[in-house]
């Protein structure tokens, strides 16, 4: 795959031949996919009727038919008599606006997914078939984005993006689907993986509130009641009419390869491939986002713990692919760079996980104007080490605002190129 660089344009600049991205909810437009090449004026008219102010466009994927609009799109070219400093300042503003718009797209889509998930849990008993249909629509929308030819990055969102239950279920689903893609699962398995992942904890709606999140202080009886959420989940899955593969995932999402899991202590190859994925991702998210935030470990520590202390619990190829995809410094990691500045990792492209995108502590730049810097485009700058948030100096801590709870979504393609980013990291 190759990087796809996109830019935002006004709707008046749309032309046939342009490859565009509809960054709205998957049920909020009439097209079968959310990114495509415009082939006729009718499609342009339909896009303009959606109420969007701007739209993303990929020049590299567009055809010569779009040439008529190119003169309007050269916003990055220097204006006549524009000084180098003014040109650099304008480029920075355009890049910042593009990055902020891309993040807002992710947060809107996460919000849509969280609302759908909450509705599914509310109607699972009374309207199980409708609950299944809504879940299928949601996952089909995810797959329409993830299975496109553009690369998908794991993006850190703000903590306000969702409450705990939806945050965990969507985190597990997003990372599981990206891992399924990395493992080259079939489309049918990806659909079952997504449905099973988003509903893996559906049985918890049958538990008292205080038992919905495992606590190290649970007694034996409380632990057993908590474990029963797997059985409750299977019962609801049957009512909803889920596929056997998705149901098996719900039944096995706490099973480990060495037999140490529950409820049936299934081992090795008796655990289905998609169950292996969710069991691993579920553990990772629970380490990063435990019931008690004081017990949270950093994403870097979570990967290290899983690899060094619990490797025997997971299928080797699945674990290797997961660590390769998440990178040494997953989104949410606080790091120190080789020039001694502090930064937070906000996005990791699974194709190049060693060079993530970061926000750097820069006292001279207001926090809400800080650019996301792609380390892949920085020949002399890379990550030196990972830190715990409390190891940061107070000024860097306040600026970077490390999340107490990590919230992930996926971000399509790359919205910036090396030229536009030049000088932004300094």
* Contact assessment for residue 413 and residue 149, using Cβ atoms and an 8 Å cutoff: no
In whole angstroms, what is the distance from residue 283 CA to residue 274 CA? 14
- What pLDDT sits at residue 149? 61
Give yes or no for a cis peptide into 213 (omega within 30° of 0).
no
- What pLDDT sits at residue 278? 98
The whole-model pTM stands at: 0.81
280: exposed, middle or buried (C-beta count within 10 Å: 0-12, 13-18, 19+)?
A: buried
- What pLDDT sits at residue 77? 55
In whole angstroms, what is the distance from residue 127 CA to residue 52 CA? 34
What does each of the 426 residues of the chain score in pLDDT, given as a tens digit?
Answer: 445 677 888 888 898 899 988 887 666 777 777 788 898 888 888 888 887 878 888 888 888 665 555 544 444 555 666 677 787 788 888 888 878 887 888 888 898 899 999 999 999 999 999 999 999 999 999 998 788 766 678 889 976 655 667 899 999 999 999 999 999 999 999 999 999 999 999 999 999 888 887 777 788 898 899 899 999 999 999 999 999 999 999 999 999 999 999 999 999 999 999 999 999 999 999 999 988 888 899 999 999 999 999 999 999 999 999 999 998 899 999 999 999 999 999 999 777 778 899 999 999 999 999 999 999 888 889 999 999 999 999 999 999 999 888 899 988 654 444 444 544 565
Burial letters 362-397, b for 16+ CB under 10 A, else e: beeeeeeebbbbbbbbbeebebeebbebeebeeebb
- What pLDDT sits at residue 139? 97
């Amino acid at each position: 795959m190759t990087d796809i660089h996109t830019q935002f344009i006004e709707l008046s600049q749309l032309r046939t031949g342009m490859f565009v991205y509809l960054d709205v909810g998957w049920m909020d437009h009439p097209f079968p996919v959310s990114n495509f090449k415009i082939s006729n004026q009718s499609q342009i008219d339909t896009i303009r009727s959606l109420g969007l102010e701007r739209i993303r466009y990929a020049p590299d994927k567009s055809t010569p038919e779009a040439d008529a609009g190119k003169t309007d799109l050269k916003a990055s070219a220097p204006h006549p008599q524009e000084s180098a400093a003014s040109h650099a300042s304008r480029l920075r503003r355009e890049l910042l606006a593009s990055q902020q718009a891309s993040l807002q797209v992710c947060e809107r889509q996460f919000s849509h997914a969280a609302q759908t998930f909450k509705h599914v849990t509310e109607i699972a008993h009374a309207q199980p078939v409708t609950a299944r249909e809504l879940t299928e629509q949601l996952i089909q929308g995810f797959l329409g984005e993830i299975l496109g030819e553009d690369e998908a990055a794991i993006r850190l969102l703000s903590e306000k993006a969702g409450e705990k239950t939806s945050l965990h279920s969507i985190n597990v689903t997003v990372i599981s689907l990206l891992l399924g893609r990395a493992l080259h699962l079939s489309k049918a398995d990806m659909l079952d993986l997504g449905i099973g992942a988003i509903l893996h904890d559906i049985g918890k709606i049958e538990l008292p509130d205080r038992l919905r999140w495992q606590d190290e202080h649970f007694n034996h009886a409380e632990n057993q009641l908590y474990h029963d959420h797997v059985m409750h989940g299977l019962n609801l899955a049957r009512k909803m009419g889920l596929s056997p593969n998705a149901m098996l995932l719900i039944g096995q999402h706490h099973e480990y390869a060495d037999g140490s899991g529950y409820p049936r202590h299934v081992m090795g190859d008796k655990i289905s491939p998609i169950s292996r994925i969710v069991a691993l991702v579920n553990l990772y998210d629970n380490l990063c986002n435990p019931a008690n935030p004081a017990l949270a470990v950093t994403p870097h520590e979570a990967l290290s713990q899983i690899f060094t202390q619990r490797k025997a619990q997971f299928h080797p190829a699945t674990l290797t692919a997961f660590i390769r995809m998440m990178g040494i410094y997953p989104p949410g990691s606080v790091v120190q760079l080789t020039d001694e500045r502090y930064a937070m990792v906000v996005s990791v492209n699974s194709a190049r996980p060693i060079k993530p995108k970061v926000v750097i502590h820069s006292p001279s730049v207001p926090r809400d104007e800080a650019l996301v810097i792609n380390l892949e485009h920085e020949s002399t700058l890379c990550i030196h080490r990972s830190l715990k948030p409390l190891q940061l100096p107070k000024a860097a801590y306040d600026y970077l605002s490390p999340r107490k709870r990590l919230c992930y979504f996926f971000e399509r393609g790359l919205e910036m190129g090396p030229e536009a980013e030049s000088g932004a990291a300094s």
